[in-house]
Each structure stands twice: as C-alpha cells, then as structure tokens.
Homo-oligomer: A and B are copies of this chain.
Amino acid sequence: MNEENRTLDIQSLETAIKNQDVKNFKIAAKELHYADLASVYEDLNDEDRSFFTTHIDLSIFPNILAELPDTLIEETLERFNVKEQQKILEQLIDDDRADILQDVSSEARQRYLALLRPEEMEATRSLMRYDEHSAGGRMTTNVARITSGMTVKEVLDILREDQESTESLARIYVVDKEGRLIGKVRLRHLAFSSWDTPIDDLVQEVDMTILASADQEEAAQLFSKYDMTILPVVDEYGRLLGIITHDDILEILEQESTEDIEKMSGIVGDPSEETYLNTSVRTHFKRRSPWLISLALISIFSGYIMFRFQNVLSSIFLLALYLPMVIAAGGNSGGQAATMVIRAMTLGELEAGSTIKVVFKELRLGILLGLFMGTCIAGITLFILPAFIHPEFPDHITLPLFALSVSTALAIQVSFSTMAGALLPIGARIIKLDPAVVASPGITTLVDILGMATYFTVARTVLSL
C-alpha cells in the first residue's frame, strides 16, 4: 500500500466515524494498519471513541490497544464488557499484556488478571516482576524453544502448532532439560534439510545473551553494535526466559533518544507516550516549569555579581558592549562540549578509564577555541569598533588595553567552559547521575555566573579600575 492510499483510507475512516456510518467504518478499518487505527482512535472525542470500540473487529483490537499511550489504556478497556475484555487480553502477546497491565490502576489490574487462564496469569505475573525498562521487562516469552534430541520433522510439527503465537521463528532456541540455553537453529536450515536430519546436527552456538535484569539500553547497544535480529534473555543460571526482537529495540532507541534530547533542554519526567499535540498544556507545564524556575533563581547570582561590580561598569560603560557576548560564548562552547561527550557516552564510546583522554582533548580544544575567538574580538575592537562608536575612556586606559581586557576574558571563559562542559557529564556519571541532566541549560547557567565574575575581574585587573 502506498502513502497516498493510506491517507485516503484514513480520511474515509474518519468520515465514517463522524457520520456514525458502521458499514464504511468496517470497510476502511479493514484496509488500515493497526498503527494507523491507533493514531486515529487517539485523536477522537469520547463519543466517537465509543463508536470506534463498539464496531471495531475484536480480533484486531488487541494490536491497536498495544499501540495506545499508557494513559489511554484503562479508559479504553473499560469501554468493553467483561467478556470482550477477556477476549482482548487473551489475544495480546505476553509482553504487551504485561506492559498494559502495568499501566492501569491496581484495582483494574486485579480484575484483568482474574480474567486470564491460570498459565497466562502466571506468565504475565512473572513478566511484570521485571522493571519496565529492563531486558526482562521488554522481552516476550513467546519464543520458539525445543529440546535437543529431536529430528527436523518433529521440530517442524511442534513449531507448526505454535506458529501463530510465536513472535519470531527466524531463530529457534535449543535448551537442555533444565531449560538452560545450549544453542540455536535457523529456520532456513530446518526448511532446507531433509525431515529425518537430527536437530543436533544443525545446532549453532549463540553469540550473545543478556541478563533479564540488565538495562534496556544495554540491549539496544548490543543490537546496534553486533547487527543482531534477536537477543535471547536469560536468568543468572543461563536459563532461557525469552527474546528481545528488533521492534522492541526500535522502541527503546526512540525512547532513549527522546529522553536524552529532552533532558538536555531541562525538560523533566518521562517522555510522554502521547504525541506532542495530545499532551495537555498542564502536563507540558509540569515538565518544563521546574528547571525554568530553578535556573531563573540561580541566575540571580549572576545578576548579583554584576550588581557588585557596579563601579567597574560605571567607569567604562563600554564594557557592557561585550558582556552578553562573553557570557553567551561560555554557554555555547560548554554546551557543545557536553553534547559531544554525552553522545559519545550514549553510543558506548567512552569507557570509564578514558576521563584523562577527554580532559586532555577538551583542554587543547578549549584553549584553541578561546585563543581563536579572543583574537577575533581583539581585532574587531581595534579595527572595526572605532568606526561605529567613539570610545570614551578614563585617562590611563587605551583602546588596545581595553581590547586586551575583553579578549582575555573571552578566551578564559571559552576555555574554561569547554572543559566544564566535558567534565560535568563525566562527573555526573561517576556519581551515578544521568549525564544528560547536567547538560545545557544547567551548564549554561553555571558558566554564566563564572563568566560574569571572570569578565569583571579581568577588567578590574587589566584596566586597574
């Protein structure tokens, strides 16, 4: 299906809902992917959502439900009667089911769990034990699993029975009688072998596994470093618990990038699962205001320094011309350094022992950038400034001396901020804080204060004020 057809189908679905036209609703819904159906549902008002849930085909609804943001899960499930709820919950893939049950109120969770068959309830409960952001919380237990000693025919017969509920058949895992993972078989090797081949002839070693308790980010790093399709999840005894598949990884990567980017702008809390437009002004406010007000209060220190240097500024008011520049240059250079270092950490490029190398690199860079910018500003002050402003100085001060003062302050501020920008994320990691949190605007506010102090201290010293 191409993009254009999809847009048309979405439009006819929306029209059908608006007109409460059951027949065309069913036709359009059949054509669309569940991800599109979920987006449409999300944007409906209460009444239209009822129409949607009344007439949607119950066999595809579980897929739609799994795509909805956390905050919509319970109110959506409550639109169905108990029998329908049971049908929906039973059809969900087990990791989706566990996720969904983690997103509803504890009262609803008990009710929903009670609707499941005993073995499903057990599987769901055991998945819910793991943190939502751990490998165990991400895995599915619907893994193709066989024990050694069978023939290809026997394996194919077993797999055929379970084929609809098994998330991926690309790798079939072989376990011993204690459930410990001993190897894998590729479906292509089964398909191309004669039916009487012993399965043990086809078993290959498993490259990588991950502990259920490991962070989801670790799983994502393994996937992208080693070009994996499926990652088996094991417990501390090496028993196969489930698998993480590439679609879980895409979700993890999207979530982690959004988190990093948002933290770097001082936005608090977990990224909303809803889209930007569907997130309420209230939620946006709650996520943005804490850092905004904290940083504003901290900025008063910067203002206080300026206030205390009143006599320096009053003696040569031309100093005001470069004040915002020196301050801002610190925030910008510190922000760049922090971004580079944080990104390198996220991509797993900086091991714990590389701090010295980073310090040395950013020290050289900071000095280079500081000298470069200081020189530019000195040149501008000496050769361009006089054409626009006639500078008035006290007797003992000359234009070159003034240029020396502002360019020295700029060079110090840029060098220092570059170092600070690189070191703060590393320091944050050492004390187990998320590096992205300390990135700009946190760094900006900090180096603003230092820049203010540097600027006036250098001016007072160089210009003997």
Q: Which residues of A contact B (CB under 8 A)?
A: 1-2, 33, 35, 156, 159-160, 163, 169-170, 187-188, 190-192, 207-209, 223-229, 246-247, 249-251, 253-254, 257-258, 260-262, 264-267, 275-277, 281, 284-285, 288-289, 291-293, 295-297, 299-300, 302-304, 306-307, 310, 313-314, 317-318, 320-325, 327-329, 331-333, 335-336, 338-341, 343-344, 347, 349-350, 354, 357-358, 361, 364-365, 368-369, 372-373, 376-377, 380, 389, 410, 414, 440-441, 444-445, 448, 452
Chain B hits for A246, CB < 8 A: 229, 246, 249-250
Contact of A369 among B285, B314, B327, B441 (CB under 8 A): B285
> Which residue of chain B lies nearest to A251 when distances are taken between CB atoms in the complex?
B224
| B332 adjacent to A441 (CB under 8 Å) | yes
| A276 adjacent to B329 (CB under 8 Å) | no
| A307 adjacent to B317 (CB under 8 Å) | yes
| B296 adjacent to A328 (CB under 8 Å) | yes
| A339 adjacent to B369 (CB under 8 Å) | no
| A300 adjacent to B322 (CB under 8 Å) | yes
| B264 adjacent to A295 (CB under 8 Å) | no
Docked complex Cα distance between A42 and B322 (Å): 43
| B325 adjacent to A285 (CB under 8 Å) | no
> Which residue of chain B lies nearest to A155 when distances are taken between CB atoms in the complex?
B191
Chain B hits for A258, CB < 8 A: 343, 347
> Which residue of chain B lies nearest to A323 when distances are taken between CB atoms in the complex?
B303
**Chain B nearest Cβ from A365, distance in angstroms:** 5
| A372 adjacent to B321 (CB under 8 Å) | no
Chain B hits for A339, CB < 8 A: 261-262, 264-265, 267
Contact of A448 among B160, B187, B296, B324 (CB under 8 A): B324
| A373 adjacent to B292 (CB under 8 Å) | yes
Docked complex Cα distance between A333 and B291 (Å): 9
| B323 adjacent to A285 (CB under 8 Å) | no
| B299 adjacent to A329 (CB under 8 Å) | yes
Chain B hits for A307, CB < 8 A: 317-318, 320-321, 389
| B295 adjacent to A329 (CB under 8 Å) | yes
